[in-house]
Amino acid sequence: MPIKKRPAPRPETADDGQVRGRFSRTRLWLVDMDDTIFNASAGMLEAIHRRMEAFIAQRLGISIEEAQRVQKDYWRQYGATFVGLERHHGINPQEFFDAAHDFDLVPYLKTPTGKGRLRAVLKAMPGKKVVLTNGPGKYAHEVLRLLRLEGVFEDVVSANDMRLCGLWRSKPDALLFAHMASRFGAPLRQTAFIDDNPNNLMPAKALGMMTVWCRGLRNALPVSAAHPWADLVVDNLDELVRSLPKKSA
């Protein structure tokens, strides 16, 4: 008996029409930057991590190997290394941002669709767009400027803006997402959050936001076509925009 070839998994997780109809009525898009808007895994993140490790090794008086472990542990635990360094070692986040992100970014900015195309794709998304990145503000604004995306986003919420209720709270802290919804005044059900890290989607989904896992630009992702916290799975923003209905359903 011939073996039936199974169809390739589709990048969907729920009823297509219903999900896409809901996305077409989005009033607020919260958009991650690294590996969502551009391919940070193509060198940028490596350049940043080398600087992070050197800073941590010097400040904590440990080897580069130990610093790598500390960096990864805090990133896993808090979603951003600076949060762990501040909470456990009293290191001023701005000092860390300057050490890790202040360098020539030009060689590292590559996009899958070209800069003009990327701008057109983002502009085609209905509603207000806001960048939500765990990276520092100076870095985020410089990346957006070099990608020719100035004026596309209503605002940029960066690591510098993540001091809430007496603590630094980066993605995926649930309080940050609740704060974003009230700050920009969009109904939760008409707010969509896009990120390459599926772990960041959970609090947004729990609040009632729509979630998109943008998985195509990031290195070393597990092979999966779905995720329990993702309403929609796409490889890049271009695919997201192409998949939205032309008119509200």
- Per CB under 5 A, residues contacting Mg ion are 32, 34-35, 196
The residue among 37 and 56 lying less far from Mg ion, judged by its C-beta, is 37
CB 247 within 8 Å of CB 224: no
Residue with token string 């800069």: 115
Residue with the closest Cβ to Mg ion? 34
In the complex, the smallest distance separating the C-beta of residue 175 from Mg ion, rounded to whole angstroms, is: 20
Q: In this structure, which amino acid lies at residue 156?
A: V
| The amino acid at 57 | A
Minimum distance from residue 243 beta carbon to Mg ion (Å): 20
Decide whether 35 or 231 has the Cβ nearer to Mg ion: 35
CB of 229 to Mg ion, least distance (A): 15
- Report how far residue 118's alpha carbon sits from residue 49's, in angstroms, rounded to the nearest whole number: 26
- The least distance separating Mg ion from the CB of residue 4, rounded to whole angstroms, comes to 38
Give the shortest CB-219-to-Mg ion separation in angstroms.
11
- Alpha carbon distance 143, 124 (integer Å): 20
Tokens of 173: 């802290």
CA distance 215 to 232: 11
Nearest to Mg ion of 39, 191 (CB atom)? 39
Kindly state the helix (H) or strand (E) to which residue 136 belongs, with its residue range. Answer: none
What is the spatial distance between Cα 244 and Cα 200, in angstroms, rounded to a whole number? Answer: 23
In sequence order, what E strands does the chain have? 28-31, 128-132, 155-157, 163-164, 167-168, 191-195, 210-214, 232-234
Q: Residue 201 and residue 209: Cα distance in Å, rounded?
A: 9
Cβ 122 vs Cβ 146: under 8 Å? no
Give me the least distance between CB of 1 and Mg ion, in Å please. 46
Give the whole-angstrom CA distance, residue 130 versus residue 30. 5
Report the nearest approach of Mg ion to the CB of residue 42 (Å): 13
Cβ-contact 138, 165 below 8 angstroms? no
**Of the two residues 13 and 200, which places its CB atom closer to Mg ion in the complex?**
200
Closest to Mg ion by CB, 35 or 173: 35
> Residue 34 or residue 86: which is nearer to Mg ion going by CB?
34
Would you say 32 or 238 has its CB closer to Mg ion?
A: 32
